[in-house]
């Protein structure tokens, strides 16, 4: 299978939170692969995600990244960074 991505993704395994809106509980996830353009996240089966959200890595840094959902299967989602 040939790689069609313009930017390479790098494997990793790090916890993060999906922030949908202020005042709503965040959704736990794990960043599985990441590139400068997007990432693959593992989420709980059945987790309800909107088309856009903030991704906040649990790395001690207060930054969060605006994301768009690009694909989804049972427990994995693909995102691109806005």
The pTM of the full predicted model, rounded to 2 decimals, is: 0.84
- Pick from 28, 40, 46, 43: which is nearest to 80 by CA? 40
Q: Parse the chain into domains and list their residue ranges.
A: 10-81
The CATH number for 10-81, chosen from 3.40.47.10, 3.30.530.20, 2.40.10.220, 3.40.250.10, is: 2.40.10.220
On whether the CB atoms of residues 47 and 32 are closer than 8 A, the answer is no
Assigned token pair, 15: 């916890």
1 band by pLDDT with thresholds 50, 70 and 90: very low
Q: How far apart are CA 46 and CA 58, in angstroms?
A: 22
Is 80 exceeded by the pLDDT of residue 52?
yes
Give 23's DSSP letter.
T
Q: What is the pLDDT of residues 18-35, one digit of tens each?
A: 999 989 999 999 999 999
Q: What is the pLDDT of residues 69-82, one digit of tens each?
A: 999 998 999 999 99
Q: How far apart are CA 5 and CA 68, in angstroms?
A: 17
């Amino acid at each position: 299978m040939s790689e069609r991505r313009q930017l390479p993704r790098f494997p990793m395994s790090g916890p993060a939170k999906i922030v949908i809106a202020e005042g709503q509980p965040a959704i736990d996830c794990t960043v599985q692969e990441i590139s400068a353009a997007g990432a693959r996240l593992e989420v709980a089966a059945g987790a309800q995600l909107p088309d856009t959200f903030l991704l906040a890595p649990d790395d001690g840094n207060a930054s969060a990244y605006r994301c768009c959902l690009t694909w989804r299967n049972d427990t994995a989602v693909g995102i691109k960074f806005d």
